Amino acid sequence: MLNKALEKTRRLSPNTTMSNFAELKTELTAQIQAANDLEKLEQARVHVLGKKGKLTEQMKTLGSMDAETRKTAGPALNAIKEEITALIKTQEDGLKRQAMAEKLSKETIDITLPIRQEKKGAIHPISRTIEEMLTIFADMGFEVREGPDIEDEWHNFDALNIPEHHPAREMQDTFFMPSDENGKKYVLRTQTSGVQIRTMMNEKPPIRVVVPGRVYRSDYDMTHTPMFHQMEGLVIDKATHMGHLKGTLKAFCEAFFEVDELPIRFRPSFFPFTEPSAEVDIGCSRKDGGLKIGAGDDWLEILGCGMVHPNVLRNCGIDPDEYQGFAFGMGVDRLAMLKFGIPDLRTMFESDTRWLSHYGFDPLDPPSTSKKKS
């Protein structure tokens, strides 16, 4: 560029002091290029472009030139100034980069040092399972209801068509509490079904609810713990029948176990609060000690259900000739074990941090009804 400018000057006015300019430019360029740090570069800049700089001095002479000379000298000098300015900028950038590189090279640290400690929390698989179940049932239009763990005998037994002498009342290995000052008897609820009663007494059909919660039975071995979790379902309206019950449970099991088609089998059974009653099996295969849900030639018992017993409806002030519906109850802990491959029920309640970390869930990954990948 510089050369081009000089060419131009030369061409325009061969008689001017072109050779002087060229010399000047060469000298200035050398000075700038010789500056090997920012301080020296600044000195060079002042030397060239400062108030008394060489180039500035030259520019000042333009005024005293005759018009003809100035016509060629002016642009030539300006061109030199521009190019020198650009050169200084380029030199400055280079020096700055060089300085930064030097500085950075001294700042290297060991990036393999560990991060600052942070504890990693997790959601218990039982909570996770309840949330997943509620998500699925919400999708089917079920609402949630809850009730107390310490329940009175009427709600836990009598209202559910389990009279005092009934073998079922002993069958369930109830934990009994002392009676209160009015002689009212309390138990730890053996099932979440008491909340059915509360719901039917407080609300009018149509009713469609699920009830998660802790339940208690006096039993402690490989497959039983004195406290576990249940989820109860209740639908009351005028036309819901056992076919809907089967469809609802099939849809739930398919969503919960994330399989597209799950064989489901109803077997007659007995619960005092339902009639007809059924136990429900889902298809599975047991091979090489492993259990796979969905496919196969075997059955796995998963829950109990039935049409709400007319006596239960009556006990809640609902006319069994007008209204009917179904109820089901499933073990949350067992579903969690099946879905997540947890081998021992008792470990659920042991609070071993290794177990909690391993089987627990990320709190930032809430359940959804979408099928998981892979």
Partner 1 sequence: MKFTLSWLKQYLDTNASLEEISEKLTALGLEVDGIEDKAADFEPFKVAYVKSAEQHPNADRLRVCQVETADHGIVQVVCGAPNARAGMKAVFAPSGSYIPGLDVTLKKSEIRGVESNGMLVSEKEMQLSDEHNGIIDLPEDTKIGTKLADLFGLNDPIIEISLTPDRADCAGIYGIARDLAAAGLGTLKPLDTTPVKGSFDSAIGVKLDFVDKDNTPCPLFLARYIKDVKNTESPKWLVDALESIGVKPISPLVDMTNFFSYAYCRPLHVFDADKLQGDLRVHLADGGETLMALNNKKYTFEKGMTVISDDSGVLEISAIMGGKDTGCSKETKNALLICAYFDPVRTALTGRKLQINSDARYRFERGIDPAFTVPAMEMATKMLIELCGGEPSHVVTAGAVPDITREIEFDMAKTKKLIGLDIPEMTQVEILEKLGFTVSKKGAHYLVKTPSWRGDVEGQADLVEEVIRVYGYDHLETLTLEKTTATNKEAETHKTWLGRKARSVLAARGLLECVSWSFMDEKMAAVFGSNDNALTLLNPISEDLKHMRPSILPNLCQAAQRNADRGYANAALFEVGPVFQGVKEDQQPLCAAGIRFQKAKDKNWNEQARAVDVFDVKADLFAVLETLGFSPDNVQITRNVPDYYHPGQSGAVQLGKNVIGYFGVLHPLTVEALDLDGDVVGFEIFVENLPEKKYKGASKPLLTLNPLMPLHRDFAFIVDETTDANAVLVAARFTDRKLIAGASLFDVYQGKGVEEGKKSIAISVTIQPEGEALTDKDIEALSQKIIAEVGKKTGGVLR
| Cα–Cα distance for residue pair 64/74, rounded to 1 Å | 12
Contact between 182 and partner 1 (CB under 8 A)?
A: no
Contact between 263 and partner 1 (CB under 8 A)?
A: no
CB of 330 to partner 1, least distance (A): 16
Sheet harboring 150-152: ordered strands across?
A: 150-152, 186-188, 176-177
Given the complex with partner 1, which of 93 and 352 has the nearer CB atom?
Answer: 352
* DSSP symbol at 110: -
**Coil, helix or strand for 142?**
coil
Contact between 363 and partner 1 (CB under 8 A)?
A: yes
Q: Among residue numbers 196 through 215, which ones bind partner 1 (CB under 8 A)?
A: 206, 208, 212, 214
Q: Pick the binder of partner 1 from 235, 282, 284, 327 (CB under 8 A).
A: 235
Name which of 229, 144, 163 is nearest 192 in CA terms. 229
DSSP 58-107: HHHHGGGS-HHHHHHHHHHHHHHHHHHHHHHHHHHHHHHHHHHHHHHHT-
Count other C-beta atoms under 10 Å from residue 183's C-beta: 6
Q: Pick the binder of partner 1 from 93, 146, 319, 344 (CB under 8 A).
A: 146
Q: Pick the binder of partner 1 from 38, 244, 257, 259 (CB under 8 A).
A: 244
Q: Do the bridges between strand 290-293 and strand 186-188 make them parallel or antiparallel, or are there none, so unpaired?
A: unpaired
CB of 130 to partner 1, least distance (A): 9
| Cα–Cα distance for residue pair 234/196, rounded to 1 Å | 7
What x-and-dash track marks residues 314-353 binding partner 1 by CB under 8 A? ----------x-----------------------xxxxxx
| Cα–Cα distance for residue pair 331/211, rounded to 1 Å | 12
Q: Pick the binder of partner 1 from 241, 286, 287, 292 (CB under 8 A).
A: 241
Contact between 302 and partner 1 (CB under 8 A)?
A: no
* Number of residues counted as binding partner 1 (CB under 8 A): 94
Which amino acid is it at 57? E
Whole-number CA gyration radius for the chain: 44
Contact between 99 and partner 1 (CB under 8 A)?
A: no
| Cα–Cα distance for residue pair 225/235, rounded to 1 Å | 29
Given the complex with partner 1, which of 10 and 214 has the nearer CB atom?
Answer: 214
Contact between 243 and partner 1 (CB under 8 A)?
A: yes
Contact 299, 284 (CB under 8 A): yes
Q: Pick the binder of partner 1 from 70, 71, 124, 339 (CB under 8 A).
A: 124
Contact between 164 and partner 1 (CB under 8 A)?
A: yes
Q: Of 30-38, 48-56, 115-123, 289-297, which part binds partner 1 (CB under 8 A)? A: 115-123
Looking up tokens 């020198």 gives 84
Given the complex with partner 1, which of 144 and 300 has the nearer CB atom?
Answer: 144
Q: Of 7-15, 24-32, 248-256, 285-293, which part binds partner 1 (CB under 8 A)? A: 248-256
Q: Among residue numbers 28 through 67, which ones bind partner 1 (CB under 8 A)?
A: none
CB of 141 to partner 1, least distance (A): 4
Contact 130, 332 (CB under 8 A): yes
Q: Of 41-49, 88-96, 120-128, 287-295, which part binds partner 1 (CB under 8 A)? A: 120-128
CB of 353 to partner 1, least distance (A): 5
The tokens of 262 are what? 């799950």
Q: Pick the binder of partner 1 from 247, 292, 319, 369 (CB under 8 A).
A: 247
Given the complex with partner 1, which of 45 and 334 has the nearer CB atom?
Answer: 334
Name which of 273, 284, 265 is nearest 233 in CA terms. 273
Q: Pick the binder of partner 1 from 98, 270, 295, 346 (CB under 8 A).
A: 270
Given the complex with partner 1, which of 94 and 320 has the nearer CB atom?
Answer: 320
Name which of 295, 302, 291, 326 is nearest 312 in CA terms. 326
| Cα–Cα distance for residue pair 80/90, rounded to 1 Å | 15
Q: Pick the binder of partner 1 from 16, 193, 248, 315 (CB under 8 A).
A: 248
